[in-house]
């Protein structure tokens, strides 16, 4: 069975601090995709990034960066210099052929950025 | 950017009523999904569809049913609502390949009294 674990349920920081969200996954497939989604208070989930299992190159996009380490089955997400607008719930997710291509979500991490 | 619409946004209804949550997308996506989101945030897949006349139950057992008569429309029905059905319901769609991100609607927050 595939599984995604986000050990942190809530993180509270002061504006301009960096925030790192942890994600650990389990799958039997050798080919799979990992995603991060953001859910602001308005409710809809917004796609942030996708990574395939063969691409361990880490990426930086503006204030966001991702660290994919296949050896530890982790796909961590960092917000640099956080802003109040970053306050949201962040979900890590996994898709693989073994699970019939359905997306499995982690439990989510609520990030609260205080001014 | 995918356009996917859910109605109603909020619904408060009494026990025993039949309800239908609407979901429509305008991007021609083959795959559509319903997720149930607990107050504790966790998302659980309850139904999915790979195309017209194709529906499957998800990982979480649900008393709701779905239909997919048209590509763009994927309604969810509860024949007899109960307080245990109180939750947020999120509809999503994607193109066929399994590495495609899901595009989500704004959700329907259902309260059964």
Q: What is the pLDDT of residues B27-69, one digit of tens each?
A: 999 999 999 998 778 899 999 999 999 999 988 888 899 999 9
The verdict on A64 touching B (C-beta cutoff 8 Å) is: no
Rounded to whole angstroms, how far apart are CA atoms B92 and B36? Answer: 11
Q: DSSP letter at A6?
A: -
Q: Quote the pLDDT of residue B2.
A: 53
Q: Quote the pLDDT of residue A101.
A: 64
The verdict on A41 touching B (C-beta cutoff 8 Å) is: no
CA distance, residue B90 to nearest chain A CA (Å): 8
Q: Quote the pLDDT of residue A23.
A: 97
Phi then psi dihedrals of residue B84, to 5 deg: -65, -15
Choosing among A29, A30, A96, A103, which should be mutated to test the B contact, i.e. which has the most B CBs within 10 A? A103
Which percentage of chain B shows pLDDT scores above 90? 78
Q: Quote the pLDDT of residue B1.
A: 53
**List of chain A residues whose C-beta atoms are within 8 Å of the C-beta of residue B104:** 37, 44-46
Of A33, A45, A107, the CB nearest to B104: A45
Q: Quote the pLDDT of residue B26.
A: 94
The verdict on A45 touching B (C-beta cutoff 8 Å) is: yes
CB contact under 8 A, A105 and B48: no
Q: Quote the pLDDT of residue A100.
A: 61
Of B59, B98, B105, the CB nearest to A44: B105
Q: Quote the pLDDT of residue B62.
A: 85
Of A42, A95, A105, the CB nearest to B99: A95
A 10 A CB-CB count for A102 gives 17
Q: Quote the pLDDT of residue B96.
A: 75
A64-82 CB burial, b ≥16 within 10 A, e <16: bbbebeeeebbbbbbbeeb
Rounded to whole angstroms, how far apart are CA atoms B106 and B5? Answer: 7
Structure tokens at B3: 């356009």
- Return averaged pLDDT per consecutive 10 residues of chain A, 115 residues in all: 92 97 93 92 88 80 89 94 96 80 88 96
């Amino acid at each position: 069975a595939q599984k995604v674990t986000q050990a942190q349920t809530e993180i509270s920081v002061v504006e301009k601090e960096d925030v790192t969200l942890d994600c650990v996954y389990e799958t039997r497939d050798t080919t799979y995709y990992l995603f991060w989604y953001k859910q602001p208070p308005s409710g809809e989930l917004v796609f942030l990034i996708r990574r395939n299992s063969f691409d361990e190159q880490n990426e930086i996009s503006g204030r966001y960066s991702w660290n994919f380490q296949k050896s530890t089955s982790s796909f961590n997400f960092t917000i640099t210099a956080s802003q109040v607008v970053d306050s949201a719930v962040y979900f890590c997710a996994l898709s693989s052929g073994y699970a019939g291509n359905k997306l499995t979500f982690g439990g989510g991490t609520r990030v609260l950025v205080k001014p | 950017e995918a356009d996917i619409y859910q109605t109603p946004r909020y619904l408060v209804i009494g026990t025993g009523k039949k309800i239908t949550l609407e979901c429509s997308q305008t991007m021609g996506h083959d795959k559509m999904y319903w997720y149930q989101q607990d107050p504790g945030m966790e998302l659980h897949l309850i139904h999915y569809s790979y195309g017209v006349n194709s529906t499957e139950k998800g990982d979480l057992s649900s008393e709701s049913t779905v239909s997919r008569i048209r590509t763009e429309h994927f309604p969810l029905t509860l024949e007899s609502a109960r307080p245990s059905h109180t939750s947020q319901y999120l509809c999503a769609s994607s193109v066929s390949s399994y590495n495609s991100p899901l595009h989500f609607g704004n959700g329907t927050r259902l309260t059964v009294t």
